[in-house]
Structure 1
Amino acid sequence: MKKWKLGLVIVGSLLFIFIIVTVFNTVRIDSKQPVAHPDELKVNKQEAVQHLSKAITYQTISYQDRSKIDFNEYDQFLRFLEDAFPRVYQELEVEKINQYGLVFKWKGSDASRKAIGLTSHYDVVPVIDGTEDNWKQGPFSGKVTNGNIWGRGTLDDKIGVIGILQAAETMLDQGFTPDRDTYFMFGFDEEIGGEQGAQVIARTLKERGVTFDFVLDEGGAVVNDMVPGVDQPVGVVGISEKGSATAELSIEGSGGHSSQPKNHTNIGRLSKAIAKLEDTQFKGDLKGPGEDLFNYVAPEMSFGMRYVFANKFVFEPLIEKILLQQPASAALIRTTIAPTIFNAGEQYNALPEQASAIINLRLMPGDSMEEVKTFIEETIDAPDIHVNISGTEASEVSSTNSRSFSSIQQAARNVYQNAVIAPYLMFAGSDARQYDPVAKDTYRFLPVQISSEDLNRMHGTNEFVSVDNYIHAIEFYAEIIKEANKPPS
């Protein structure tokens, strides 16, 4: 046989083997979704809606300047909770921590089992000045109209507080008793860092020797049209959250009159440094929680997409290239760079003697503050620009192989039976990280089905939740309590 024919045979054989292997990888990946086993919870729908509607009317607003906070509204909100959920307050141990933090302990029958915790927060962000008239319903009206409940906190995160308590009240009415200690922990300053709320609650519980199998906070939701190639809505459970750091770039030098500028002014040199950072960016890498997400959704994809993700050993560079094309997916696989503030100059005809810029960075798990600072310094390659970085690294990554994650996934499927429930990396911050020192795992999931447009409402204008979504949230909290309290297998 001639050499060129032999070469074709070898190439053809290798191609045939490649096709067989990759197709086999595609067809053999099994769904990671549990079969739904819904358990009917007889929620008093009218009462539940009234409770969330009323909760929204209390203006429990967190301000960065804490002196602006009206704690009278917080006091009234806490008194409202006592009136709204009498059985919870009568039958659970209730404690205020640091005056406005709330801890409920529902004592379990088996002291040998580690506790579980559900946490939310009842503070909300302010309504931006000048946007009040843009709301279709008042931001603190709690108005119920056309099947929706309106106002600040309907999604972030009074729905969590009221949903958990409504679920517990309903379960008490139906005679449920937990097998293990079940805690509800509600912070009051999550929107400004949680330092006086969740952080103090977690520290207090740690001092008492309380530890959790898992703590579940707000976070990902069931999102429509989230993953290309997946027709079903995808419910994402945060198993970690990115770190948040601030890098300040500053430069000093001679100023002078603007009629005689140097070729490179302080503003120009700093702008060049920022442009270098934006042009270079951190390297994308499909790993950790981002990779976990696709491991869970790949079996539900169309064949073509499933083929690509089932054979990451071949297509990973292509996958990463595609993910880097969109901001949301790029943030899933790399530390992000976002210049947000630039300070320089006071007068139009005077060169500034100093200039500074603030860059917000969201750190991937595994990226340290020191590594990020080194990357910035090496990228800008400008010794005259001083780099100072502060903030927090990413939270610990919680397990997807634990019974805790399986319980959350099962509970979500029981309520949203058509959804694909998967782990992911949360970009924003939450109180969940405060509980890392006392919990084996921390997870982040807001049990509502929403669109990408709804996500923008959380801190924006016209925040609302549908009544159906709210009732589903109550059902989910009941489901996760039941699932987590089932006897160990």
Structure 2
Amino acid sequence: MKKFFKYLGIILLLLIGIVLFRTFTFRSKQIATSEAKNLNLNNSCVLHLQKAIRFKTISYDDAALMDSSAFIGFQQFLVQTYPLTFAQLSLERVNKLGLILHWKGKSAKAKPIILMAHQDVVPAEEATLNKWDVAPFSGAIKNNMIYGRGAIDDKGSLIAILESVELLLKQGFIPETDIYLVFGHDEEASGLKGAKQMAQLFKDRKISPAFVLDEGGIITEYKVPGLTKTASVVGIAEKGYQTLNLKINIPGSHSSMPEKETAIDEMAKAVVKLKENPFPVEFGTTVQNFLDYVGPEMPFVTKMAMANRWLFNPIIANTYSKTAAGNATIRTSMATTLFNAGVKENIIPGEAQATVNFRTQPGTTQKEVIAYVKKVIADDRIQITPKGEGNEPKQVANVDDDSFQYLQKTISTIKKGMIVAPYLALGASDGRYFGELTSQVFRFIPFPDPEGFHGVNERIKIEDFKKGIGFYYELIKNYEAK
């Protein structure tokens, strides 16, 4: 027995030694930079974003509902507001409403860069209009914040890009390499007629960019579990997108004589089962990269766990599972978004339907999602039908590439001491269509903890919007072509 405890003690000492060694050698991956000086911007840029928001460039799943006149009016506004940009950059329209602006650089041989944003916005729900502090398409300013659909998603980025380009043109700046500005018009409806078609044009023309930057990641003060520093998360990959329609038919009846099983009851049970049985945790390559970048910046105990994930993965998984963003980072997420049944209060309906949306971890296929849902529900009466093909993105950017390091360095200038980390973007973006052109597709907007996008009171602080302009200005001005 003494020998057993002796050997056990030796093993524990070795384990502690390994854990401490890995913790103390878990080095920071941050780039030391000084904070960039704020651009001397007047409030004309604020006025421009306000006006941009007032154009109701709304995307719908049903393309017939789209008001093309709103997009045409918005584009005319852009031409008038940014005269040097539209005079000196060549303009190409794709499917009438998509825009590609080409800014020729000094080198015709160097790989170009592509900056993306989208013109369209989601609708403001009729049922929530009374909850907005201002009208959702007013662009009104309240408490030093610009309110309205698109303030964050994604006219804030689009206007910030154009403001920076216009300013650089006024200064006589010529970029080192070609720059393309790609502004889709149907990102909120999957980008099939906008970004997808534009990416195909680049592919047909054999244009291989050094990197692509689209929306996705953000600056955050509190969304990274365990981190007490400001962080910027840059999407180097994005989750897949799948939607399943569920349907069950059980003969209905009068509400005064309910059967033991009804269509609504059984569909509700299925939805609850899915909620209570989430997909298993996955620490894939992208998530591992994220932990490698944020881990060294954590307080000691958390840093120790991050440095020794082989030992502490269950604890890390438990911590991340406690928040919506953290949970979505480490597993395929699922959310019931539609539930339909019934036509009258005293009739038990014979059919119930539910729509469940899945944001899948890289590598998870539609077949695997369907198989998992069938297993969890365990009710053959429920028909499971995919809604479209969904998408299964394969692109993952290389964090060791010069392009990521340049982006990291530029982001670091926004605020002194800010942490920059690669991560798995939780939502789909237009940028995914450019994954066949280059693996270096990044997703990031230079705005802190966005409020209200796709919800009520979408808004951005004036100060943050101006800093965003400064980010794109520095990104373009300091880029050295390879």
Task: Give the TM-score range, shorter chain.
Answer: over 0.9
Q: Deviations over 1:361-415 (max 9, x none)?
A: 1111111101111111222222332222234234222222221211211111011
* Counterpart secondary structure, 1:111: coil
Task: Give the equivalent residue in structure 2 for 1:469.
Answer: 464
Choose 104-113 or 217-226, whichever is displaced more: 104-113
In structure 1, distance between residues paired with 2:425 and 2:27: 25
Task: Give the equivalent residue in structure 2 for 1:147.
Answer: 144
| Change in CA separation of 1:343 and 1:74 when aligned onto 2, cut-off 3 Å | closer
| Change in CA separation of 1:458 and 1:256 when aligned onto 2, cut-off 3 Å | closer
Task: Give the equivalent residue in structure 1 for 2:403.
Answer: 404
Q: Deviations over 1:181-221 (max 9, x none)?
A: 11101111212222222122222222222222221111111
Displacement of 1:161: 1.1
Code of the residue aligned with 1:465 in structure 2: it is I
Q: Deviations over 1:443-476 (max 9, x none)?
A: 11010122xxx43x11222222122111111111
Q: Deviations over 1:423-446 (max 9, x none)?
A: 112222221112223333211101
Code of the residue aligned with 1:393 in structure 2: it is N
Partners of 2:214 and 2:443 within 8 A in 1:
yes
In structure 1, distance between residues paired with 2:338 and 2:148: 30
TM score, norm. by length of structure 1: 0.91
Match among 110, 124, 141 for residue 107 of structure 2:
110
Question: Quick check: 1:380 aligned with 2:377?
Answer: yes
Q: Deviations over 1:297-346 (max 9, x none)?
A: 11110001001111001011221123223332111111122223333344
Task: Give the equivalent residue in structure 2 for 1:175.
Answer: 172
In structure 2, distance between residues paired with 1:325 and 1:467: 32
* Counterpart secondary structure, 1:272: helix
Partners of 1:212 and 1:440 within 8 A in 2:
no
In structure 1, distance between residues paired with 2:299 and 2:226: 5
Code of the residue aligned with 2:211 in structure 1: it is F
Q: How does 1:73-84 map to 2 (within 5 A)?
A: 73-84=70-81
Displacement of 1:75: 1.9
Displacement of 1:56: 2.2
In structure 2, distance between residues paired with 1:150 and 1:382: 46
Task: Give the equivalent residue in structure 2 for 1:460.
Answer: 455
In structure 2, distance between residues paired with 1:444 and 1:166: 20
| Change in CA separation of 1:226 and 1:355 when aligned onto 2, cut-off 3 Å | closer
* Counterpart secondary structure, 1:165: helix
Q: How does 1:73-472 map to 2 (within 5 A)?
A: 73-256=70-253, 262-348=259-345, 350-390=347-387, 391-395=389-393, 396-450=395-449, 454-455=450-451, 457-472=452-467
Code of the residue aligned with 1:127 in structure 2: it is A
In structure 2, distance between residues paired with 1:448 and 1:253: 50
Q: Deviations over 1:98-125 (max 9, x none)?
A: 2111111111222222211000012222
Unaligned 5+ residue runs, structure 2? Answer: none
TM score, norm. by length of structure 2: 0.93
Displacement of 1:37: 4.3
In structure 1, distance between residues paired with 2:226 and 2:26: 16
In structure 1, distance between residues paired with 2:167 and 2:24: 44
In structure 2, distance between residues paired with 1:150 and 1:266: 43
In structure 1, distance between residues paired with 2:244 and 2:139: 39
| Change in CA separation of 1:303 and 1:9 when aligned onto 2, cut-off 3 Å | same
Displacement of 1:350: 4.7
In structure 1, distance between residues paired with 2:256 and 2:360: 42
Choose 73-82 or 112-121, whichever is displaced more: 73-82
* Counterpart secondary structure, 1:376: helix
| Change in CA separation of 1:465 and 1:259 when aligned onto 2, cut-off 3 Å | closer
Code of the residue aligned with 1:420 in structure 2: it is I
Partners of 1:42 and 1:170 within 8 A in 2:
no
| Change in CA separation of 1:348 and 1:74 when aligned onto 2, cut-off 3 Å | closer
In structure 2, distance between residues paired with 1:476 and 1:25: 35
In structure 2, distance between residues paired with 1:130 and 1:373: 33
Task: Give the equivalent residue in structure 2 for 1:13.
Answer: 10
In structure 2, distance between residues paired with 1:132 and 1:257: 36
Code of the residue aligned with 2:274 in structure 1: it is L
In structure 2, distance between residues paired with 1:358 and 1:437: 30
Code of the residue aligned with 2:155 in structure 1: it is K
Partners of 1:226 and 1:233 within 8 A in 2:
no
Once superposed, what is the RMSD of the aligned Cα atoms?
A: 2.2
| Change in CA separation of 1:353 and 1:473 when aligned onto 2, cut-off 3 Å | same
